[in-house]
Amino acid sequence: MAEVDLCYYSIAEASRRIEGGYVSPVALTEALFAQIDATDDRLNSYVRLMRESALEEAAAAQQRAESGERLGPLDGIGIGVKDLYDTAGVVTTGGTGVYRERVPATDSTCVRLLREAGAVMLGKTNTHELAYGGTTNNPHYGATHNPWAHDRVPGGSSGGSGAALAAGQALGALGSDTGGSIRIPAAFCGISGHKPTYGLVGRGGIIPLSLTLDHAGPMARTAEDCALMLNVLAGPDPDDLDSAMREPDDYSATLEQGVGQLRLAVIPSLVEGSTDAVLANFESSLDVLRGLGATIDTVEPMTGYSDWRGPLGSILAAEAAAYMRETLEQRPQLIGELVRNRLQFGLDIKAIDYTAALEQRKLVERQFERALGEFDAYVVPTSPLTAEPIEDGERSVQLKFRNTSTFDNTHQPSMSVPNGFDEDGLPTSLMITSALFDDAMALRIAHAYQQVTDFHTRRPNLQPEDPEMPRRGAV
């Protein structure tokens, strides 16, 4: 079996093969590092590898497998860690020059839980600086390139995790989502990503952007893999003051129940403005879901509320600026110009406007939950757009994040799965959002969709189209 085939296993398939003795965790980890070595000079998915400790973790997983003492489905599985998540003894920068030499003493809650489940931490993946943007054009560590088109962004801010998965450099990855930073890279890179219910996954030891909106969650190739990761990641976190302190469900238990008799709602205002390809692939996805037995109707949760989005941006901007205020006052040059300007804007937001935005967010959450009273989930395109050229910087920010940011504000679980390609061969994506703490429903619908489509199995051509294309570290 070619090493590259090992690298494109789903977590579920790799776990079954490890369990059966057909694949060893050491061989799998070595194959992933070989793939990173062969491709990352063109992609820049990783900013820091943890090769030595990863191979030690893989050897321990192999011993457990050989003795019939595996810890679970993630034991021996290679995971990429977004460079916001603390890793004990390993530099964690948040993608900024401010923290270039920051070495945490302990693991973040999510990394600790993954290690306890036997997962292998491969390295730290690139992120948009301080997670404040959607390109992963990082001024300190270089741009990450989209595996499907090397001149395009992978999305952000978890662009390194998205690119690593699409390129076969990891079987699973950690991302974070404040306005869409798990689901936009999932959409642009043709992989799967789940933003859990707010507070379900603990954020202890994660460099924050907006404590009101930050969600930590899994990225992988399939909805099933995201469910397996969520089974490990979900649960109470004393180190996160907004933790739901809720015992997790088994998010893989209902995956096979299908979508027959489910009622799904399209939100027309989150469909309009989509490119022709995004719209065509979305309509095809609806046909697939209907063919599986789902009923689809339309709803507008915010009918009667004008300009309801207007105040919401103040939350992220104000909270991000508050966290970085001391740096902005004393060492602003350590933050790249784009993010520095966004943070400076946040400092100017008045308390009265911030408070009004918090109240507005609660209203939006209530209205979207209420509208789901008649439905099982919302279905809309993940983003109205596909990946923009790296050289364009960040274009059409509001439109790109319009759909995803809606569900950061509602705090509802939201799942992105690939659903086709545009005329340039760039991935498009379907987003499925269910009620608060009903993460299993979004995962179930996504899994049913992936059982009859193959977009999540497609692989990009990782050979450089142009020998003069930008190499690692170029922006």
Query: What does the pLDDT look like over 331-358, one tens digit per residue?
Result: 999 999 999 999 999 999 999 999 999 9
Q: Which pLDDT tens digit goes with each residue over 41-93?
A: 999 999 999 999 999 999 999 999 999 999 999 999 999 999 999 999 999 99
> Of 157, 161, 252, 405, which residue is the catalytic one?
157
Residue 4 scores a pLDDT above 90: no
pLDDT for res 463? 76
Catalytic hit among 181, 210, 314, 416: 181
The string of pLDDT tens digits covering residues 13-38 is 999 999 999 999 999 999 999 999 99
User: pLDDT by residue (tens digit) across 375-405?
Assistant: 999 999 999 999 999 999 888 899 999 999 9
User: In the chain, what percentage of residues exceed pLDDT 90?
Assistant: 95
Q: Say what the pLDDT of residue 2 is.
A: 66
Span between the terminal Cα atoms of the chain, in Å? 36
pLDDT in tens, 141-185: 999 999 999 999 999 999 999 999 999 999 999 999 999 999 999
Radius of gyration of the chain from Cα atoms? 21
pLDDT at 470: 47
Q: Kindly report the CA angle at 177 between 417 and 29, in degrees rounded to 5?
A: 65
Query: What is the SS3 assignment for 206?
Result: strand
How confident is the model over 123-137, as a mean pLDDT?
Answer: 98
pLDDT band for position 465 (cuts 50, 70, 90):
low
Mean pLDDT of 279-284: 98
- pLDDT at position 466 is 53
Instruction: Check whether 260 has a pLDDT greater than 90.
Output: yes
Is 0.85 topped by the overall pTM? yes
Average pLDDT over the chain, rounded to whole?
A: 96
- List the 46-49 sheet strands across, edge first: 46-49, 120-125, 78-82, 172-177, 215-220, 192-195, 414-421, 427-433, 377-381, 263-266, 295-298
Q: Are 73 and 172 in contact (CB under 8 A)?
A: no
CATH level 3 topology of 3-303+359-457: Amidase signature (AS) enzymes (3.90.1300)
When pLDDT is averaged across residues 312-325 and rounded to a whole number, the result is 97
Catalytic-residue membership of 181: yes
Helix axis angle, 51-66 to 11-19, nearest 10°:
50
Which of the residues 24, 82, 176, 252 is marked catalytic? 82
- d(CA 48, CA 62) in angstroms, rounded, equals 24
Contact 204, 108 (CB under 8 A): yes
How large is the average pLDDT for residues 240-265? 97
pLDDT digit string (tens) for 86-109?
Answer: 999 999 999 999 999 999 999 999
Domain ranges, ordered by start, for the chain? 3-303+359-457, 310-358
CB burial string 190-199: b at 16+ within 10 A, e below: bbbbbbbbbb
- Say if residues 112 and 79 touch (Cβ distance below 8 Å): no
Answer whether residue 454 shows pLDDT above 50: yes
The encoded tokens of residue 365 equal: 């959450």
